[in-house]
Structure 1
Amino acid sequence: MTTAPATAPPGVPAVDADPFSPDVLEDPLPLHTRLREAGPVAYLTRYDVYAFARYEQVHAALTNWQGFESGAGVGLSNFRHEKPWRPPSLLLEADPPRHDAPRRVLSTILGARALRRLREQWAAAADDLVEQVLTGADTELDVVPALAEAFPLRVFPDAVGLPPEGRENLLPYGDHAFNAFGPSNDLVAKGAPRVAELSAWVNARCAREELAPDGFGARIWEAADRGEITYEQAPLVVRSLLTAGVDTTVHGLGAVLHAFATHPQQWDRLRADPRLARVAFDEAVRWESPVQTFFRTATTDVTVADGVVVPEGRKILMFLAAANRDPRRWTDPDAFDLARDPSGHVGFGMGIHQCVGQHVARLEAEVLLTALSRRVTRIEPAGPARRHHNNTLRAWASLPLRLWA
C-alpha cells in the first residue's frame, strides 16, 4: 500500500479513489460507474495499480493468463517481492504448468457425476431446512444465518468429508482470506488475532485421517495415490475447497434472496417455473457479484485498450462487479431479470482460473430456491439490512425478510 498518491502514466485517466474504503464497500456502484466512464483502463493513484472496469477488458485479462499471471498473487500483495501469509493456492494463485494437475483433479471430483449423486441428498436437506424455518403463514427471520449460511455449512462440509465439530471456523477463515487480497487495512487487522488459530484448524482438517472416506477430500488424497498430484499437493487442494467453497456460496445465496425480496415479480416468475432457479442464481451473481475484484500481475509489457501498455511486473485490479453491470455488454444492467441470459458474466471468473466449484454452488442454490418456491408465496423486506464489509466480497451481515407461506 502506497503512502502517497502515485502519478498516473501518460494517457491513462487517474482516479483518486479507494475501492477498499468503508464508503465504497457499502455502495461500490458509483465508483464502478466512474471507472467505466473514465475509459477502458484507469489508474488508481492510491495503490499505484491499473484498473479495468469494463467488461471487454476484464474478460480479456481473465482469459489472458500468459500476459496477466495469478502466480504473483491475486491480491494487492506481489508475491514476487512479498512473502504470502500462507502457502499460495495451487488453483487460484498458480499458473500452468503448476496449476494444471490440481485443477484437473478437482474438476473431475466436482464434475457432473458427483453432482448427480448429491442432488437428491441436497434437495432433501433443503426441504428439511425450509420446513424448519417456516413457522407459520408469515415468518420473519434473518435469512443470512437461517438460510444463506446454514445450508452451505450443512451440505458442503458433509460433501468434503469434514466432521460436524468446528465448522463455524470456515466462515471467519474464508473472510480473512478474502480480506487479505486487499490492502492491510482495518478489515485485515480485525481478522489478524485469529489467523493462526483458524489456519491451524483448517490445515488440520486437510489431513487424510480427518476426512470421511466417501467425500471430496478423500478423493483428492486418492488422486495422490494414483500419482495425479503429489502427497504434498493433496492437503493444499483440500484447503482450496475449504477456503473458497463456503463464503462465496453464502454470499451468492444472500444476493439472490435480497434480489427476490426487492423484485417480487421475479419471485412470481420463479414460482411459476422453478426450472429458472439456476438462471436466478447466475443473474444474482451477475447483478450483485459476491466476488467484486481480483488482481493480476503483468508477466511482460502488455498492450491493452487504446495502446496503453501495462509494464511487466505491475499489478492490475479487475472489477468483476463493474464488468457485470457494464451497459456496453448488458441491456438494462442494473435490473435483476430472469428473462435475461446471464451466461458470460464474470462473477465466477473466466478462463483457466474460472471457479472450479461453480457448479456445486449452482446446485446448492438450485435446490434451496426450489424448496423455497414450493412453500413461499412472497418474500418481502422485514427491517433494515446491514452489509458485511470485506475487501473482496460483497456480502450481507444481516438481511431480515418476511416469508409468506
Structure 2
Amino acid sequence: MTTSATHTVVPVSHVDPFGHEVLEDPHQFHAELRDAGPVVHLTAQDVYALGRHEQVHAALSDWQSLESGAGVGLSNFRHAKPWRPPSLLLEADPPRHDAPRAVLTRILGPRALRRLRDAWFADAAALVERVLRTPEFDAVTALAEEFPLRVFPDAVGIPKEGRENLLPYGDHLFNAFGPPNDLVEKGTSRIAELSEWVDAQCRPAVLDEDGFGARIWEAAGRGDITPEQAPLVVRSLLSAGVDTTVHGLAAVLHAFATHPGQWRRFRRNPGLARVAFDEAVRLESPVQTFFRTAVTDVRIGGAVIPGGRKILMFLGAANRDPRRWERPGEFDLSRDPSGHVGFGMGIHQCVGQHVARLESEALLTALAERVERIEIAGPVVRHHNNTLRALSSLPVRVVRAGRA
C-alpha cells in the first residue's frame, strides 16, 4: 500500500477486494487495510474503504451523513437505475425507511419467536436424528441449508414448491452489490426467472394466513404501510432471511468442528448457543461488506470523503480488528462478542437477527444433545460471493453421544 493526497493524505491500495484470491482468504488483505489507516482509497473500484472497527461501527450508525438510499452496493442509485426496486429496509433512509422497519420489527418480535420456539426445536431434533443415521455428511447441505429452508419459509408462509429458488436468488442479490464481475455474470441468465418467482410469493393470495407475510399485508390493511410497500417488505424477508442464516450456521458448525475444546465446553453448557452463534458471526462475518454514499463531504479518521462518493465498509475486517478484540482470530466461547458488526449497526441493523439466533439455537442444541465429537472429514470448500463469506461444502464426521 502507498499514499496519495485526496484532501488529506489517504493510503492507497491497488488490491481488488472482489478478486477470487481475496474472496477465498480475505484476512491478509483485511490486516493490511486496517494497518494502512482508518480510511484507504481502493483504486480497483475508486472507492474509500473502512476496515477498522471504530470507523466501521460509526459509519454504519451515521445514516444522516452516509446514506443507504443511493444503494448499499457499488452501483450509485443517484446515477444508475437499480436492477430491481430497492429494498425499503436496506436501501432506504428515514423517513421512507421508518414505517416498513417498524412493521417488520413488531412482526419479528419476541412474541412471534416464542410461538415458533417449540416447533423449531422439534424440527431441529427431527432433522438431526435423520442426518445422524450416517456418521459422515456435508454439514452445509445437510444442516446449514436444510434447516433454514425448512423452518423460515414456513414462518413467512410461502408454499413449499420452488423454495430451491431462494438460495440462487439471494446469491445473485448479494453478488450484485459488488462490481459487475464473473460472479454477477454467472447469475444473470436466471435472475429474471428467479425474481418473477420471488415476487409471486409476496402476493397475499399465495401467503399462508398465519405467517409473517400475512401479518405484513394486515399492516397494510391497517394503514401502517401502503399496499405498494407490502410486497417489498415481504420480499425483504425472502431476500435476506435465508442466505445470511445459512452461512452463519455453516460458520458456527465449522468453528466447532475445528475447535473441539469449544464443542466440549458448549455441550457442558448448551445455554451458550447464542454466544456461539454470535462469536462465529464475528469471526467469519457472513456479510463481509456493505457500501454507503457520502451525502456531503464527510470527515472520517482525518480524511475528507467528497460528497457523492462511495464508502466500502469491511465488516469482516472490523470484526477481527485487534484494536477492538483480544485474539480476534480465535473462536472463544468465553468472549463477549456483543459489539460485532456482523449484523450491521444503527437503524439498518439486521431486523431478523433474533430469528437467525433462534434457528441456530435450535440446531446447535439438537446437535449438542446427540453428538460427542464433530470433526472435519474432507476438503472444506469456499463459495465465492461479492458480499458474503460462505462455504459450499463442509464434510464432517461425528461420534454419537454415548457411543464409542
Deviation by residue 1:199-253 (Cα, 9 ceiling, x = unmatched): 0000000000010000000000000000000000000000000000000000000
Instruction: State whether residues 41 and 52 of structure 1, in contact with CA within 8 Å, keep that contact through their aligned partners in structure 2.
Output: yes
**Letter of the 1:91 counterpart:** L
In the alignment, the residues of structure 2 paired with residue 97 and residue 286 of structure 1 have an alpha-carbon distance, to the nearest angstrom, of: 30
The structure 1 residue matched to 2:367, chosen from 372, 379, 384, is 372
Q: Deviation digits for residues 21-69 of structure 1, max 9, x if unmatched? A: 0000000001000000000111101111000000000000000000000
Give the structure 2 partner of residue 130 of structure 1.
128
Residue 55 of structure 2: aligned partner: 57
Measured in 2, the distance between the counterparts of 1:129 and 1:261 equals: 19
The equivalent residue for 2:261 is 265
1:72 aligns with 2:70: yes
Q: Is the 8 A contact 1:296 1:316 kept in 2?
A: yes
Match of 1:178 among 171, 174, 179: 174
Q: Can you list the C-alpha shifts for 1:101-160, whole angstroms capped at 9, x where unaligned?
A: 000000000000000000000000000000000115xx1001111000000000000000
Q: What is the RMSD of the two structures over their aligned residues, measured on CA atoms? A: 0.9
1:222 paired to 2:218:
yes
Counterpart position of 2:389: 394
Q: Distance in 2 between matches of 1:110 and 1:158?
A: 14
The answer to whether 1:42 aligns with 2:40 is: yes
Match of 2:111 among 113, 122, 142: 113
- Map 1:140-289 to 2 at 5 A: 140-289=136-285
Q: Secondary structure of 2:112's partner? A: helix
User: What TM-score, normalized by structure 1, do the two folds share?
Assistant: 0.97
State the SS of the aligned residue for 1:91.
coil
1:339 match: 334
Identity of aligned residues (%): 74
User: What is the identity, as a one-letter code, of the residue corresponding to 2:104?
Assistant: L
Segments ≥4 residues shifted beyond 4 Å:
none
**Counterpart secondary structure, 2:114:** helix
Structure 2 distance, partners of 1:91, 1:147, is 29
1:339-387 Cα offsets, whole Å, 9 max, x none, are: 0000010000000000000000000000100000000001100000110
Secondary structure of the residue aligned to 1:181 is coil
Partners of 2:226 and 2:331 lie apart in 1 by 44
The 1:12/1:226 distance shift into structure 2, 3 A limit, reads: same
Deviation at 1:8?
Answer: 5.9
1:403 positional shift: 1.4
1:128 is paired with a residue of what secondary structure? Answer: helix
Instruction: Report what 2:81 is aligned to.
Output: 83
Q: What is the match of residue 327 of structure 1?
A: 322
C-alpha separation between the residues in 2 aligned to 1:173 and 1:163? 16
> Is structure 2 residue 361 aligned with structure 1 residue 404?
no
Q: Which amino acid aligns with 1:314?
A: R
Amino acid at match of 2:164: E
- Report Cα offsets for 1:149-180 as digits up to 9, x if no partner: 00000000000001110000000000000000
Contact preservation (8 Å) 2:38, 2:301:
yes
SS of 1:309's equivalent in the other structure is: strand
Equivalent runs, 1:9-48 vs 2, <5 Å: 9=6, 10-48=8-46
* Contact 1:7-1:45 at 8 Å conserved across structures: no
Matched positions, count:
397
Residue 399 of structure 1 aligns to which amino acid in structure 2? L
1:354 is aligned, of 349, 352, 357, to 349
Secondary structure of 2:342's partner? coil
Taking structure 1 as reference, are residues 162 and 110 closer, same or farther at Cα in structure 2, changes over 3 Å only? Answer: same
CA distance in 2, matches of 1:277, 1:374: 12
Q: Offset at 1:7?
A: 6.7
Unaligned runs of 5+ in 2: none
Give the secondary structure class of the aligned counterpart of 2:313: strand
Aligned residue type for 1:309? V
**Are 1:8 and 1:43, in contact at CA under 8 Å, matched by a contact in 2?**
no
Please give the secondary structure, in 1, of the residue aligned with 2:10. Answer: coil
CA distance in 2, matches of 1:325, 1:135: 37
Residue 304 of structure 1 deviates from its aligned partner by 1.1
State the partner residue of 1:3.
none
Name the counterpart of 1:99. Answer: 97
Provide the rounded CA distance (Å) in 2 between the counterparts of 1:360 and 1:7: 44
**Equivalent residues of 1:25, 1:389 under 8 A apart:** yes
CA contact (8 A) 1:8 1:14 kept: no
Secondary structure (helix, strand or coil) at the match of 2:286 reads coil
Whole-angstrom distance in 2 between the partners of 1:53 and 1:228 = 38
What secondary structure is seen at the aligned counterpart in 2 of 1:384?
A: coil
